Structure 1
Amino acid sequence: MIPDKMVEFAHGPQLMFFGSRNAKLRPTATWAFGALADGEAGTLTVFIPEVEGAATFENLHDNGRASLTLADAATHEAYQFKGPHQGTRDCIDADYTVQEIYLSKLTAYLEPFGYGGHIWNGFMLNPCKAVTFAVEDIFIQTPGPGAGEKIDLG
């Protein structure tokens, strides 16, 4: 189960960094563009452009571990979600709609800070893969007291 606050945070205009590791335990990180959190099922699905994610997709196939860091660029509130990879598939039209909504929210949110469409419109989002993983752990990543603490999901 993913707490409602975390589901809302995942659906907000957050910066998204998806992490994985290879067989030699070397990390790989890539951008993700949009997320669908299912609080009751305890899963997160994120959308990773194929041009960005080749190493990530290979790592997921190799060891099955996933990590997603979500960060609010204005407040620096951040969380890391970790768990086993459940599947990767090609994106469908509905997934691309989620990405468009995500980018619209992100651009509108960051425009006042000078990080608007001129940055985000440069990413090649199609073709894209939808990556789903089960959330086993969530960690606070907000700088300051409490950073690194595990959130109780029980």
Structure 2
Amino acid sequence: MDHRNIVSTAWAGMLAILLAMLLIDPLQYLMRGQYEDLSQTLQHDPGTLGLRVLMVMLCLNTLMQVGIQMFAGPRWRSGVLAVTALYGLFFLVHQVVHVAGGEALGLHTVLDVTHHERSPLQCNQHPPPSRNPKSQPPFGPTPRPQASPCPLIH
């Protein structure tokens, strides 16, 4: 099991969901022919600042995927853990602000929850093997438990 691939794949999944979140509203307005409403909505959310933040996040996501494959030191892993936590918290806080502002729960909420589910901080992808002897395979060596089920923390 290559922990780098697991974490990098999780970041790639978060990138795909981020792109979907970015495109859903404009596509819905365009399919209904509501071009003026789309223009007004985009001025408010994401707005100029929000668009810049999204571009930085897209670049950060791509660079993180490359960095995860290139570097493996303990400081780097700790940095990846911190950046991943902040990245996920940004989406959580952003969604809470929208809901608190009176927006109804919808497809964005589902994507946001999925985004957090794909987060590498969800470190129970490979739970340790069971200690129950009856659940062990009848033949072959017993798998050794991992020190930590989280690929970011050793």
Please report the TM-score for the alignment, with normalisation by the length of structure 2. Answer: 0.28
Higher share in helix: 2
Higher share in strand: 1
Please report the TM-score for the alignment, with normalisation by the length of structure 1. Answer: 0.28
Structure showing greater radius of gyration is: 2
Name the structure, 1 or 2, with higher relative contact order (CA <8 Å, separation 6+).
Answer: 2
